[in-house]
Amino acid sequence: MAPLYVARPLLPSMADLNDLLAGVWESKMVTNEGPLHDRLEHALADKLGVPMAKVFSSGTSALQCALLSLELPVGAEVITTPLTFPATAHAITALGLKPVFADIDPETLTLDPSAVERAITPHTAAVIGVHVYGTICDVERLQRICDRHDLRLVFDAAHAFASEKAREKIACMGDMSVFSMHATKLFNTIEGGLVTSNNSAWGERLSLSRNFGIASEESVQSVGINGKMSELHAAVGLLNLELFEEERAIRRGLRARYDLVLQRFPGLKKQLYQPDVYQSEQYYMLRVDPDAFGSTRDDVCHRLKEREIIARRYFWPICTDYDCYRNYPITSLQAVPVAEQVKTTLLCLPFHSGVTNAHIETIASVFEDLHAGVTIAV
Ligand SMILES: *Cc1c(COP(=O)(O)O)cnc(C)c1O
């Protein structure tokens, strides 16, 4: 069997892609906000039910441009979670802002609003919540805190594409939501990013910040980067927009099968189920309690790897383990922050339409062996 990775890119048929690209080649309009780019923005706004959608070259450039557009004071503090992909914290730092890490809730694993409140100082300018693994943040409490303290609220929604909570669109929450459309995400443009907002007024500054701050031929208005999406990536996006719901439905079925197979083992805690959330199905995350299960998360990961099942220990290391943020504390209500307690237990299993029944049997047998304490000679 070929190795089974945690993610597999959703790809359109080459014939469909060629048809779209033939037009691009014909026109020679290959980038700089071309027609496919504009079509994709409209299609995304429509699909996500949001008035404004701007596409970018990556989730990282989308995060940076969102922060640039907010025009936060130099050196201002931005409160975020330590349990995320490096891009969230690095986008803050790269713009000369300071990431401040607040602890996570033990159940949702998203930013704990009480910890956020504690982390606020006179220098705080914004909060970035992450809907980690597709689990939605306590948006209402975060919004109330931000309103009370006059802070901007941004969501890193890279794991929550086309998600809803209590029938409200995730893309409409906070000041802005930022999505990644990287190949590993449910909906992808191979490389790409997206910023959405309920407030269309942000659109102009977002467009400026992704295009070097160029307002017209004769005017450069503000600091900006090159965050533009090419026509090739937009073409993949337009086609994948027709395909991702089917992929999501397959993953929903896969989640149910994993749940069923793994429920017999003590010490495995599945991802929190939020009954009012329409899940993106970005990840299947488990927590392995070594005392109750009998083996550690790392044992499980290594043993799966021997069988060519490549699970990932997302998100470990957490941000405060990185060399560049080692001296940054985690503001917490606990003696040992929740993020520190859970970081060695998290495991994401392969989660995409390429996972077969045979794969699931192999995975189940690895858990069975480890739980029974069987060791194989090396
Ligand atoms: C993937 C991801 C990003 C970064 O997106 P890129 O498109 O790879 O730049 C940011 N935040 C989170 C939570 C992610 O998972």
Q: Which atom number of ligand 1 is nearest to the Cα of residue 58?
A: 7
Are residues 219 and 267 located together in one domain of the fold? Answer: no
- Does the residue 40 lie in any domain? yes
Radius of gyration over every alpha carbon of the chain, rounded to an integer in angstroms: 21
Are residues 165 and 252 located together in one domain of the fold? Answer: no
C-alpha 260 to ligand 1 mean position (Å): 30
- Does the residue 342 lie in any domain? yes
C-alpha 40 to ligand 1 mean position (Å): 19
Contacts of 270 (CB under 8 A, 6+ apart): 259, 262, 285, 286, 287
CB 252 within 8 A of CB 137: no
Counting beta carbons within 10 angstroms of the beta carbon of residue 70, is it exposed (0 to 12), middle (13 to 18) or buried (19 or more)? buried
Are residues 33 and 171 located together in one domain of the fold? Answer: yes
C-alpha 181 to ligand 1 mean position (Å): 8
The CA distance from 271 to 368, in Å, is: 20
Q: What is the pLDDT of residues 143-163, one digit of tens each?
A: 999 999 999 999 999 999 999
Could you give the count of Cα atoms lying within 13 Å of 34 in the half-sphere of its Cβ? Answer: 19
- CATH code, domain with 313: 3.90.1150.10
Are residues 266 and 210 located together in one domain of the fold? Answer: no
CB 189 within 8 A of CB 181: yes
Are residues 267 and 332 located together in one domain of the fold? Answer: yes
pLDDT score of 372? 78
Mean pLDDT, range 278-290, rounded to an integer? 97
Domain boundary at 206, 240, 274, which?
240
Whether ligand 1 lies within 6 angstroms of the CB of 80 is answered as: no
DSSP bridge pairs for 169: 164
Are residues 197 and 274 located together in one domain of the fold? Answer: no
Are residues 210 and 263 located together in one domain of the fold? Answer: no
- Does the residue 377 lie in any domain? no
- Does the residue 208 lie in any domain? yes
Domain boundary at 200, 222, 240, which?
240
Whether ligand 1 lies within 6 angstroms of the CB of 84 is answered as: yes
The CA distance from 124 to 281, in Å, is: 33
- Does the residue 378 lie in any domain? no
Report angle CA 172, 90, 73 to the nearest 5 degrees.
70
Mean pLDDT, range 27-45, rounded to an integer? 98
- Predicted confidence (pLDDT) at residue 266 exceeds the cutoff of 50: yes
C-alpha 86 to ligand 1 mean position (Å): 8
Among 168-182, 279-293, 360-374, the least confident range = 360-374
pLDDT score of 378? 46
C-alpha 87 to ligand 1 mean position (Å): 6
User: Which DSSP helix (H) or strand (E) runs through 287?
Assistant: strand 284-288
Kindly report the average pLDDT of the chain as a whole number. Answer: 97
Mean pLDDT, range 19-25, rounded to an integer? 98
Catalytic sites, residue numbers:
185
Write the DSSP symbol of residue 334: S
Whether ligand 1 lies within 6 angstroms of the CB of 193 is answered as: yes
Nearest to 210 by CA among 20, 12, 14, 41: 41
Are residues 295 and 283 located together in one domain of the fold? Answer: yes
Domain of 326, in residue numbers: 244-371
- Tokens representing 10 are 């959703």
- Predicted confidence (pLDDT) at residue 375 exceeds the cutoff of 90: no
The CA distance from 304 to 18, in Å, is: 38
Whether ligand 1 lies within 6 angstroms of the CB of 157 is answered as: no
Report angle CA 311, 312, 314 to the nearest 5 degrees.
150
Residue 374's pLDDT band, with cuts at 50, 70 and 90, is low
Are residues 228 and 177 located together in one domain of the fold? Answer: yes
For ligand 1, pick from 182, 191, 226, 233 the residue to mutate: most ligand atoms within 8 Å of CB.
182
Whether ligand 1 lies within 6 angstroms of the CB of 158 is answered as: yes
Share of the chain above pLDDT 90, in %: 98
pLDDT score of 229? 98
Backbone dihedral angles phi then psi of residue 84, each to the nearest 5 degrees: -160, 175
C-alpha 303 to ligand 1 mean position (Å): 28
Whether ligand 1 lies within 6 angstroms of the CB of 60 is answered as: yes
Nearest CA to ligand 1 atom 1: 180
- Does the residue 356 lie in any domain? yes
- Predicted confidence (pLDDT) at residue 377 exceeds the cutoff of 80: no
- Does the residue 376 lie in any domain? no
Whether ligand 1 lies within 6 angstroms of the CB of 293 is answered as: no
The CA distance from 9 to 185, in Å, is: 7
CB 171 within 8 A of CB 157: yes
- CATH code, domain with 39: 3.40.640.10
Nearest CA to ligand 1 atom 4: 59
Q: Which atom number of ligand 1 is nearest to the Cα of residue 191?
A: 7
Write the DSSP symbol of residue 216: E
Q: How far is CA 332 from CA 63, 122, 272, in A?
A: 25, 18, 21
User: Which DSSP helix (H) or strand (E) runs through 178?
Assistant: strand 176-180
Q: Is the pLDDT higher at 375 or at 66?
A: 66
C-alpha 178 to ligand 1 mean position (Å): 9
Q: Strand runs (DSSP E) across 118-174, as ranges? A: 124-130, 152-156, 164-165, 168-169
Are residues 229 and 255 located together in one domain of the fold? Answer: no
Are residues 110 and 215 located together in one domain of the fold? Answer: yes
- Does the residue 176 lie in any domain? yes
Domain boundary at 209, 240, 271, which?
240
Nearest CA to ligand 1 atom 6: 59
Nearest CA to ligand 1 atom 10: 87
Q: Count the domains in the chain.
A: 2
Are residues 152 and 248 located together in one domain of the fold? Answer: no
